[in-house]
Chains A and B, each alone.
Chain A
Amino acid sequence: MAEAAASMSGDALRREALSRDASGPSGTKPRHVLSRRNIFLYGTLIVVALYYLLPLYVMIVTSLKGMPEIRLGNIFSPPLEITFEPWIKAWSQACTGLNCDGLSRGFWNSVRITVPSVLLSIAIASVNGYALANWRFKGADTFFIILIVGAFIPYQVMIYPIVIILREIGIYGTLTGLVIVHSIFGMPILTLLFRNYFTSMPEELFRAARVDGAGFWGIYLRIMLPMSLPIFVVAIILQVTGIWNDFLFGVVYTRPDTYPMTVQLNNIVNSVQGVKEYNVNMAATILTGLVPLIVYFVSGKLFVRGIAAGAVKG
């Protein structure tokens, strides 16, 4: 080595030295934690997050306070004495009209509305979407356009005609009626969702299944269904939150003893006689919003995957 180095010209030596110099940039570029970009990015995110979380904080804090403490007026201060009394009252004692059994009645009504509506609408819409995507029957395009147009007609236009239809069939004011209404109104968007998802699946798969002898239902149940978990999750989330949060249909198509949770919540919060029990109202509101919230938290990842897989393309 030494001999070789000695025989090198000065220029080559200098280059050799440069390439061995450890002080020059090498490897991963270092990142500064407090760079301008990071401060701006995280600053914005934190401010926005606080802005959205503040009302939730006020609600939780207020729901844990007693009425004397609320009257002091410090809505941001944490409770001095934590009490779960408002929650119990909201769930099982709050009065709406003649019933004084709290939100629990509405909760179970909502469950009885949401579960069958979600199952029914998704079952029908997924078959619709599958048929539209893979079995190009005569008039499929026209059918699809009509369905999409349906998604853009304001609900309010159809409220009264549907009241009459339900009355004529004899299911006005029943949960069955509301379940049917929810299923129908979920149809356009869900069918679109499923159609786009099934369209994005390779067509050769469908053809291979046909050569293998599977029919309409065989391909749907044994090939397509097992491959579409993400889009089913998306559909379930859309429907559960949509139907659970619905107020308009609930108040129009049911009677007081079959009111869904949202309608009952409104009646509790807006009751005019007596003292406004802010803590009970807050607890009742959180209880009502809890179901969609849990659905989101549990299925967040699948939801994002499903949206990315199906809803964008088309």
Chain B
Amino acid sequence: MAAAIANPSVSIQDLSLNFGVMSVLKTLNLDVAEGEFIVLLGPSGCGKSTLLNCIAGLLDISQGRIFIKGKNVTWEEPKDRGIGMVFQSYALYPQMTVEKNLSFGLRVAGVPKDEIAKRIARAAEILQIEPLLQRKPSALSGGQRQRVAIGRALVRDVDVFLFDEPLSNLDAKLRSELRVEIKLLHRRLQNTMIYVTHDQIEAMTLADRIAVMKGGVIQQLDAPQTIYNRPVNRFVAGFLGSPAMNFIKGHLEASDAPVFKADGVSVPLGRYQFDNESGRAAKPCVFGIRPEHIAFGEAARAMPFSAESSVEIVDPMGSDTLVWTKLGGQILSFRVEADKTLRNGDAIRIGFDPARASLFDAETDSRL
């Protein structure tokens, strides 16, 4: 975990939330630095949207405190927290024009008219929605609606932006376009942003740091590359990456040079970085290796570990091809360039560098 942040923009301390007997968030701690882009990533029902709603003040928490800009906002109303929120369903007021949608919060707050006009002009310019100002939301496309929704947070001149799966309702093409726009927006505004998604691509591309959540607990909070390359447990390892990481069950043989063994295969772990020395003890464990870290053919021979195998299934995916094979009697997939022609049953050689692998305790599922 990263070192403590000196002046966190958002600080969540020992936050718990219970719905009746069900505990949704469990003594959760999170510090977000000024101007940081944090992504809360996790499967459905992991509590990521709930956490965001707690930060926004839309849900009353059971325990703990929330600070925004150093101010304790635990009991504050959403409007007094200095946050702007963008929702998955856009949540535009259908009876108002885009302009009225943008200005609603300002009108409620009694901001003077010329100030409202100025802020709307700025937001419309940033988001390129000037021609749409007099339209009703029903006359906009999904991408335009989401832009207006972002604009509504923008005009309020807030410290922290909260995004609740803002791109989930868009088609794949628009999603990637708006993703880039959000990234540019963040670079231009330099605001703190907390972004909830279940899409790992969004998380990897947007985040300064990702918080992977499961069952109301943050599993790992780190930079995207660290999370990808050094997942702290099997859940994080399996959740990030598509196609998913390969897992091979086996056991660790302790010695001066530890070795992973699984049904006829033994992988030397001399180059593997153990998290701590006690991890070297002999025990059942799971060996994880990402499909793109497996080399094949001539390149495999150069790797510290290589083995003979045969092709089971070939899945062409356009940009590259996913090949399924077996190692130690267990299924393994790896990526090759699309122009490699492999057929079912072909004998091949695969190899990898154990330094890029992840080793998990079979019992606790945590990284060794």
User: Is A140 in the interface zone, CB < 8 Å from B?
Assistant: no
Q: A212-B105, A213-B108, A227-B94 are in contact. List 17 more A-B contacts (CB 8 A).
A: A202-B89, A202-B91, A204-B90, A204-B91, A207-B58, A207-B85, A207-B91, A209-B104, A210-B57, A210-B78, A211-B79, A211-B105, A212-B108, A212-B152, A213-B105, A218-B108, A223-B93
Q: Is the CB of B58 within 8 A of A211?
A: yes
Interface string of B110-126 (1 = CB under 8 A from A): 00000000000000000
| Cβ < 8 Å to B, chain A residues 167-226 | 202, 204-205, 207-214, 218, 222-223, 226
Does B93 contact A205, Cβ atoms closer than 8 Å?
yes
Q: Is the CB of B56 within 8 A of A211?
A: yes
Q: Which residues of B contact A208 (CB under 8 A)?
A: 85, 87, 91-93, 152
B79-105 interface with A by 8 A CB criterion: 79, 83-85, 87-95, 104-105
Of listed A208, A210, A218, residue having the most chain B CB within 10 A: A208
Say yes or no for B257: interface residue by CB 8 A criterion: no
A interface, over-half SS: helix
Q: Please give me the residue from chain B that is nearest to A207 by CB atom.
A: B58
Size class of the contact patch on chain A: 10 to 19
Asked if B3 is an interface residue, CB under 8 A from chain A, the answer is no
Q: A211-B58, A211-B79, A212-B79 are in contact. Are A205 and B105 (CB under 8 A)?
A: no
Which residues of B lie under 8 Å from residue A227 when comparing CB positions? 94-95
- Residues of chain A contacted by B87 (CB below 8 angstroms): 204, 207-208
Tell me which residues across on chain B come within 8 A of A205, comparing CB atoms: 91, 93
Contact A213 B88 (CB under 8 A): no
Q: What A residues does B83 contact at CB under 8 A?
A: 211
B109 within 8 A of A: yes
Nearest residue, chain A, Cβ from B93: A223
**Which of B87, B90, B156 gathers the greatest number of chain A CB atoms within 10 Å?**
B87
Q: List 9 A-B contacts (CB under 8 A).
A: A202-B89, A204-B87, A209-B93, A211-B78, A212-B104, A212-B105, A213-B105, A214-B108, A226-B95
Which one of A202, A212, A223, A226 has the greatest number of beta carbons of chain B within 10 Å? A212
Q: Nearest chain-B residue to A208 (Cβ)?
A: B91
A227–B89 alpha-carbon span in the complex (Å): 17
Q: Which residue of B lies closest to A226 (CB)?
A: B95
B84 touches A211 (CB 8 A): yes
- A226 to B136: give the CA distance in the assembly, Å: 14
Contact indicator A210/B79 (Cβ below 8 Å): yes
A242 to B92, CA, bound (A): 36
Complex Cα spacing A212 to B78, Å: 8
* Bound-state Cα–Cα, A209 to B107, Å: 12
Q: Who on chain B is nearest to A205 by CB?
A: B91
Q: How far is the CB of B163 from chain A (nearest CB, A)?
A: 12
- Interface-central residue, B53, B58, B92, by most chain A CB under 10 Å: B58
Please name all residues of chain A whose beta carbon is closer than 8 Å to the beta carbon of B108 when the two chains form the complex.
212-214, 218
Beta-carbon contacts under 8 Å, B300-358 to A: none
- Across the interface, which residues of A come within 8 angstroms of B93, CB to CB? 205, 208-209, 223
